[in-house]
Structures are given as C-alpha cells and as structure tokens.
Structure 1
C-alpha cells in the first residue's frame, strides 16, 4: 500500500486553515502547551524567535501557520503551513520560528511517537523492509494530506471532551501512525522498524543514553550493546545523529541542567552535579560554549524573553 496525494492544493490549504483554528482555540497566547493527551503539545509564537538548542524527540511536528527552521548538524531544514516534520530518532538540533506575527502567529503541534508501537504496527501491517538503496534520514519534511489533517483536528478537538479523550485519543493516534507508515514518511519508519537495522540499533543506543546520561559513558560498551564494533558504531551514530556519542551525551546533560535551573530554580552548581559533572568550571565552560552565555546569565535571559 503506497500513499498518493492527488488532492487539489485549495482543499489542503482549507484543511490547514482548519488545523490552525483548532490549535489557536487552545493556544491563545505565546507558549508551549502540554495537553491532557500526554503525547500531544501545542505551540504558538507571535514573532520570530532566537535559535534555541533543544532535543527533538521521536515524533511528528506540524506547522499549521507561520514557518520554522531547524539546524541538524550541517543541514538546514525549513518547513511551513501544511508541512510535517518526522523525527525518526531523538536528535539535538537548533530550532527557531522564522515567521510569525500578532495577526498570524506561528501555530504548530508536536505528537510524540512510541518506537515499540511503530515496530508492532509495522509487523501487523506486514510492511516490507526499506529498499536497500534508501538511506536513513533522521528528519524528513513532507506535505500533509487532507485525511491526516482531519485526524489531527479530531485529536485536538478531543481536548474539549475530557470524558471521551482517554478512549478515543489512542484510536486517533493509531490511525495517525498507520497513515505515517503508508504515507510519504514511510521509508524512514520502515528503517526504524526493520529488526537489526543500524538505525534501529542506534535508536536503542540513543534511548539508553537518554536514560543514563549522568553516568560515565564508555563508547565501547555502548557499541557492544548495539552489537557493533566500536568504529562501526561511531560511524553509524554520527551519520544518523550528526554528532559523536560523547557530544550527544554532553548535550543531553547541558539541556537537562538548563531545564533544572529554568523550571525548578536549581543553582548552577547543584544542576552540574545532578547531570553528572564533577567539575563546576568544566560545566560552566561547556554550558557557555553550547548556549552562548554562562549558566546564570543564560537563565536570566530566557526568563526575560
């Protein structure tokens, strides 16, 4: 089964406008909105934003209005109204809004995906392995079709129906996953679902790193866990994530420290210890190198903005 999008552009544009209105109902001012559907968050910005270091999780990002840009390694990725961004593996990126205004704010959503559910559903659907000639891409941009936009709107509208949401949201999320597996993003999800593929092994290594980033990292042990030689593991890891395992761990540590200071008011020294740093000066140096300012100055700037 292969997706074909033959809908008129006017129909897709009208559907995208409907998605923007649905998001705007629940995201009425600038910010990031967690919702009663745990996998779903909504986002609104009334103007361009500064580039921000962050981790894109496995999931589907959608822009209904405005434009966004992400820097993934050396690659610049732009996407706008009616486009979806599939992140096939958790990735450190630099992201920002490039177009938005008070009259037409950037409106978007993020739906996180479960790798186990992807593998299970692909197996149930008896989907083929990805073509040998196709390379795994950690981020892909594709245009949404009307059917996908429709189920996203229905998912958002469940926020108005708290009694129904726990029962219907999983069904809508499953429909979204099925459509992804046969739609334009299908090849990347097939890579992720293919048992023993390098992308699947690296995804497992990344999942382990996210749970254990504060511990000392031995790359050789991580390679053995992925059933690869250290040199092969390093090569696949860099090809897929755009960085080395040690740099990936460092970004996870610094992102978590930033969140601890920003959200919980933890001081820089305590945050450094909690994420695995033994040297406060090393923490401050690496933090400044990544975020462009020392910890306290960076957190003050974020709070003001």
Structure 2
C-alpha cells in the first residue's frame, strides 16, 4: 500500500466519526469529515495541516487557500479564517493530521541547520507548500505510532522533530524560518495578534498594538496586513464576530447581549457588521447554526 493510502487508512481507523480527535501523540489531532461543509469561522493557531484524503478551503481576508494531499498548509500565527471542507464523501472522507508547531524546537533546529537563502521581508500568515515524499513518510511514521502506543514516548518526539526539520528544509520554508527567528517581523506581528486576542473587546488602539510589536504605526499597519490580509481593525472585527457567534449558539445569548460582550455599544452597528461577515442577521444565523450544528474543526 502506498504511503498516502497507508496514512489515510490509519487516520480513518483512529477517527470513530466526524469531528476533531485528540491523540496520545503530543500536539497531534486528527480530523475527519464525511461530506462538504459550509464555511465556518475558526481561529487557526500555529499548526501544520497535512491532508491524507479530501480537500479543504480556508479564506483569510481576501485570500483563499486550498489544501489537499498534494499541498500542506502552515499557519504561522493566530488567524481568524473561514474554513470549509470542499471535497469529502462517506466512502472517501476528508482526513487530516494536524500538528501544533513547537516554536522552541523550531528555533533550535533553525540554529543547528541554518540556511543561506534570503528570507522574505513579509510572509503571509497562511502558506501552502508541496507535500514532499520525505515529509509524508515522516507523517506516516508518526501516525503509525497510534497502532503501537507503547512506542510513543520513545519515538514520537524524534519523528515530530523530523517533521519540523522537513518543514524547515523543504520547499517554501521561508515562513517557517521566519517563525523560528525571535526578532523577525512575523514574530513581532504574532506578539501583537496575541495581545489583540486578549483585548479585542476593548477599544484596542492601533498605537497600542504597534507598541507591542515594536513598530511605528504606519510600519505596523503595513506588515500586519501583509501577514493577515486584513487591517488590524478588520482583524478585531473578525475576532469579535466569531466570539459573538459562539456566545449566541453555544451559550444562548441574544444578539444585543452578545454584541455588548464583544465590545459593541450599538446593537445596530453590531448587526450590520455581523450580517456583512456572515450573510445574515445575528439571530437568524444563530438559529440556523443551532439546528445544523456543523463541525468547525480545521
């Protein structure tokens, strides 16, 4: 059985149904979906998404990223995206291995294995790259440890490190090397994003975010948009809308209360922004989601 088919077989056996499943492997989760899904908002944290079967689409601002078995996706910073599975069926479900990226291990590997290539000034927060045979083989060996759990403690850290090495040395490695550099512009923007995620319900002046990133206001705005495909205020709006949607669907809040919780003083402005992003007024959208309850995992 070829490598990709073997990986798909393992992921299928260790996902008992549709959804996202944690595993005994540190930082590894598995995702399965048996049919195409509607676009759903989700925050992508720094991860590798390696697809064994099916196809997924992530929309970040005005940019669309489609990843499948031939192309893996790396999220280098925390990003609010609209994600949807676009190719999946009962016979051939969407199957994905997701690995959280360990920044300490990445930095250590980057120091031990430097590159002479000039790194890009600005790297987008999401990037697609070709899945190499070497990366796929390492992913298969990592997933195969689920069948021999007694080997996980001894071997999983080694295979995970190999995967990070493949990302650092494979095609399009610039964004991963940017992640590994503590003083890179990407990491400066990442610090600002972490701050913004903690303060999005407040006023969040751009000058405050720029100070966190250690940049001037104009420089920060330009680099933030290069990484996220959004302005800082558009990014904040995405975070607010995602949380408001969760509050209405999961906690049963009404639209006015949800809007107030995420920082809106005007219910009408909240409704306008919400409908612009999700295509329907808050209450109608929340009612639909409660009835459908689709999976939002990436």
TM-score range, shorter chain: 0.7 to 0.9
Aligned equivalents of 2:249, 2:142: Cα separation in 1: 31
Runs of 4 or more off by more than 6 Å in structure 1?
Answer: none
Change (3 A) 1:121 1:210: farther
1:257 aligns with 2:244: yes
TM-score of the pair, normalised by structure 1 = 0.83
> Size of the alignment, in residue pairs?
292
Aligned equivalents of 1:59, 1:16: Cα separation in 2: 20
Pick from 199, 221, 237 the counterpart of residue 186 of structure 2: 199
Between 1:138-147 and 1:98-107, the stretch displaced more is 138-147
> SS of the counterpart of 1:42?
strand
Deviations 1:178-214 (A, max 9, x none): 2211122421111222343322211211122123322
CA deviation after TM superposition for structure 1 residue 32, in Å? 2.6
1:44 aligns with 2:32: yes
User: Does the CA-based 8 Å contact 1:43-1:108 persist in structure 2?
Assistant: yes
Change (3 A) 1:162 1:152: same
Change (3 A) 1:277 1:166: farther
CA deviation after TM superposition for structure 1 residue 77, in Å? 2.2
Aligned residue in 1 for 2:215: 228
Aligned equivalents of 1:197, 1:258: Cα separation in 2: 34
Aligned residue in 2 for 1:282: 269
Aligned residue in 2 for 1:3: none
User: Does the CA-based 8 Å contact 1:64-1:83 persist in structure 2?
Assistant: no
Aligned equivalents of 2:203, 2:78: Cα separation in 1: 20
Aligned 1:101-116 pairs, distance under 5 A:
101-116=89-104
CA deviation after TM superposition for structure 1 residue 84, in Å? 0.8
Aligned residue in 1 for 2:234: 247
Aligned 1:79-98 pairs, distance under 5 A:
79-98=67-86
Aligned residue in 1 for 2:163: 176
Deviations 1:8-32 (A, max 9, x none): xxxxx92111111111112232223
Aligned residue in 2 for 1:291: 278
TM-score of the pair, normalised by structure 2 = 0.85
CA deviation after TM superposition for structure 1 residue 295, in Å? 2.7
Between 1:111-120 and 1:248-257, the stretch displaced more is 111-120
Q: What CA RMSD, in Å, does the superposition of the two structures yield over aligned residues?
A: 2.6
CA deviation after TM superposition for structure 1 residue 128, in Å? 3.4
User: Does the CA-based 8 Å contact 2:29-2:97 persist in structure 1?
Assistant: yes
CA deviation after TM superposition for structure 1 residue 129, in Å? 6.7
Deviations 1:231-259 (A, max 9, x none): 11101111111001111111112212222
Aligned residue in 2 for 1:54: 42
Unaligned runs of 5+ in 2: 293-298
Aligned equivalents of 1:298, 1:32: Cα separation in 2: 23
> SS of the counterpart of 1:152?
helix
1:146 aligns with 2:133: yes
User: Does the CA-based 8 Å contact 1:83-1:143 persist in structure 2?
Assistant: yes
Aligned equivalents of 1:303, 1:149: Cα separation in 2: 38
> SS of the counterpart of 2:36?
coil
Change (3 A) 1:82 1:274: same
Change (3 A) 1:77 1:217: same
Unaligned runs of 5+ in 1: 1-12
